[in-house]
Amino acid sequence: MRGEAAPAPDVAIASAREAARTAPTLEALRELMQSFEGCALKHTATRLVFADGNPQARIMFVGEAPGRDEDIEGLPFVGRSGKLLDLMIGAIGLNRTTAYITNVIPWRPPGNRTPTPQETQICLPFIQRHIELANPDLLVTLGNPSTQTLLSTREGIMRTRGRWFDYDTGQRTIRALPTFHPAYLLRSPSYKRLAWQDLRTIAKVLAG
């Protein structure tokens, strides 16, 4: 390792927790994350990818981690899978003025590799606080990593998708629905039919 040693993971997790807890607003949280030094991904990424869309929206979508296009633009879901996400939410009348979008991991892992469990644990207090502060009525986890991390389940997306979970922010319980990640749907388009079912479930709740 070059330069200063990264803090030990348990130290980094504790300092992320402490930092996230003290952020009173989303803007404060963003600034805190900008200056957080406990996650090595920050140093290989170009920039922080905090969120896009409307933080007042009733619905919040959470993916896994930024890819190349997101790292360049500093916004989540702007590449190929983002285009599909826009189409998916557009099919139920949503767009980035009526939805809020972010990821569990706010920095692009090098070469788009899978984030390590340690990196995920370090970033977890930030996304938890992010959800608590945005306080949506409905949380949609996109794909397995986001679902398993946020909804504390070990079941795979084939079993969890379309099923309601409770997400406890510490302040209140939010209804959460896992569905397929758009990148997965690009690779396996036959699952779009099931994703459409999930979108209709979401639309019904938002209309109700």
Instruction: Enumerate binding residues for ligand URA (CB under 6 A).
Output: 63-67, 70, 76-77, 79, 81-82, 103, 183
How far is it, in rounded angstroms, from Cα 179 to Cα 150? Answer: 13
Q: Please, what is the minimum distance in Å from the beta carbon of residue 142 to ligand URA?
A: 6
SS (H, E, C) 19-64: HHHHCCCHHHHHHHHHHCCCCCHHHHCCCCCCCEECCCCCEEEEEC
Least separation in angstroms between residue 18's CB and ligand URA is 26
Q: Given the complex with ligand URA, which of 54 and 103 has the nearer CB atom?
A: 103
**Residue 152's beta-bridge partner residues?**
none
Nearer to ligand URA, 50 or 167 (CB): 50
Choice between 106 and 136, CB closer to ligand URA: 106
Residue placing its CB nearer to ligand URA in the complex, 64 or 198: 64
CB-nearest residue to ligand URA: 63
Q: How far is the CB of 75 from ligand URA (least distance, A)?
A: 8
CB of 116 to ligand URA, least distance (A): 16
29, 23 contact by CB (below 8 A):
yes
Looking at residue 24, its amino acid is: P
Rounded distance between C-alpha atoms, residue 101 and residue 175, angstroms? 16
Minimum CB–partner distance for residue 30 and ligand URA (Å): 16
Which residues lie across from 139 on neighbouring strands?
Answer: 60, 176
CB of 152 to ligand URA, least distance (A): 19
Positive or negative: CA dihedral 114, 117, 121, 124: positive
In the bound state with ligand URA, the residue whose beta carbon lies nearer, of 64 and 86, is 64
Residue 81 vs 120, nearer CB to ligand URA: 81
What angle do helix axes 26-35 and 9-22 make, rounded to 10 degrees? 150
Could you tell me which residues are beta bridge partners of residue 53?
Answer: 100
